[in-house]
Amino acid sequence: MLSGLPLLFAIAIAVVFLIFSSSRLKWHPFFGLLIAAAGLGLAIGLDLPAVVGLLKEGFGGLIGAVGLLIVLGSIIGVSLERSGAARRIADLLIGNGSHPGLRLVVLGAVISIPVFCDSGFIILAGLLPALALRAGGKIAPLALSLAGGLYLTHTLIPPTPGPLAAAANLGAEEFVGTIMLLGAVVALPVVFVTWKAAGWLGSRITAILPTPVSEEDAATLPSLTKSLLPLLIPIFLIALGSVLKLATDGDGAETYILWLCDPTVALTLGCIPALLLPASGTKAAWIGDGLALAGPILIITGLGGAFGAILKASTLADDVALWAGDAALSPTALLCLGWAVAALMKTAQGSSTGALVIASGVIAPLLPLAGFESGTELALMTLAIGGGAMTISHANDSYFWVVTRFSGIEVADAYRSYTPLTAIMGLTVLVSVVVLSWLF
């Protein structure tokens, strides 16, 4: 079997092929990941039946771990978007107070937990003119604040599919609540940095909004309580489950409470108030749109698991252990490596979800070398990879074009403002994760 430097060379070729197939050949990531995984398996010396078996095992294993979570989260997100509940939550968080930029970062971070950042920006962009008028300032800093806030939790906090897939690849699917709690801690300094950086970068450019996104009549929006329940129920239950696992032994009555706190059950319960929100169309259409949204993500996620299974079957972990000698791999070094691999994939091929899936597959075999076993350690690695997956956004990222189109920021100005903003955010995540790893 291929090992040592030839193995690293083969992995590098597979990664370069993934980047080239998506950015140059314009292939769908499905084919790029499938061919890269199969080709790597054959290159390292596995026979064809073994490669096919690992592809199926990796694909099915990852889908089994997070598939339902992705589907349920997508249905909740679509329901909040179509019912106007996302707009009602926006009204709550923005209010009439000061510091509109900070409020927009926080708003984006909350909305993007269940709603994809692309959809969230399109929904909320219509708020920008009124806010700029109210604040007596420019639109560009506010647009960048909103874009940054939405982008932040899109790559960090479940039930967004990317972090879920990375957690499953790393063997942390049982610690989703821990990832959410630590993700919220990591997000706090990033929110502040994003607000300040967006204000400074936005003050140097001009944004002219296109025709504003139409706002729903406030009378037709669902009540605030109904709007919040689909978010609060699963977040509360998953967080409660994490606390109970730390504070109890899980016997007796706690068993039933922990069952309710399972992420799949919690998101299912969150779907109930989501689907009870008022609708102008049919609820079946919401479910159908949620499934349509989740389908491509499930396929890419599963193939990322297949790619990871091939890597785990290689001698990569043994080779790194041999190179390291008797010295254990530094946890800080491994966190930085996970961040760097994700940043490379994100910058090269544009997809944050793809970067999360691929980077977590590369890092998973190396976890034992740094002694990463606990839920906290695996959660921090997931967050480090999430920080890399937001570094950096430019023209090969669909969200880049959503931000420029709906904020009125010219492409050249976006390269001078939004792109460096994502780099600043990603680096802040890395620093925050490393500091937390020293504390824990």
Q: Residue 87 class from Cβ within 10 Å (0-12 exposed, 13-18 middle, 19+ buried)?
A: buried
Q: What is the predicted pLDDT for the residue at 212?
A: 46
Q: Residue 253 class from Cβ within 10 Å (0-12 exposed, 13-18 middle, 19+ buried)?
A: exposed
381 pLDDT band (50/70/90 cuts)?
A: very high
326 pLDDT band (50/70/90 cuts)?
A: low
Residue 39 makes CB contacts below 8 A (sequence gap 6+) with 14, 17
Calculated CA dihedral for residues 266, 268, 270, 272, nearest 10 degrees: -150
Q: Look at the chain and count its residues.
A: 440
Q: Tell me the two tokens of residue 57.
A: 């095992």
Helices (H) and strands (E) in the chain, counts: 21, 0
CB distance 234 to 159 below 8 Å = yes
Per-residue pLDDT at 190 exceeds 60: yes
Distance in angstroms (rounded) separating the CA atoms of residues 329 and 141: 42
Per-residue pLDDT at 192 exceeds 90: yes
Residue 299 makes CB contacts below 8 A (sequence gap 6+) with 30
Q: What is the predicted pLDDT for the residue at 56?
A: 92
Give the angle subtended at the CA of 11 by the CAs of 354 and 179, to the nearest 5°: 40
Residue 306 makes CB contacts below 8 A (sequence gap 6+) with 33, 34, 37, 54, 55, 56, 58, 59, 62
Question: What distances in angstroms separate CA 323 from CA 202, 263, 326, one per listed residue?
Answer: 46, 39, 9
Q: Residue 326 class from Cβ within 10 Å (0-12 exposed, 13-18 middle, 19+ buried)?
A: exposed
Reduced to 3 states, what is the DSSP secondary structure of residue 409?
Answer: strand
Tokens 């959503």, residue located: 402
Q: Of 11, 345, 29, 314, nearest to 166 (Cα)?
A: 345
Q: What is the predicted pLDDT for the residue at 250?
A: 60
Distance in angstroms (rounded) separating the CA atoms of residues 278 and 288: 17
Q: Dump pLDDT digits (tens) for 346-367.
A: 887 778 888 898 888 888 888 8
CB distance 190 to 152 below 8 Å = yes
Q: Dump pLDDT digits (tens) for 90-127.
A: 777 666 667 888 988 998 898 888 777 877 787 777 67
pTM: 0.76
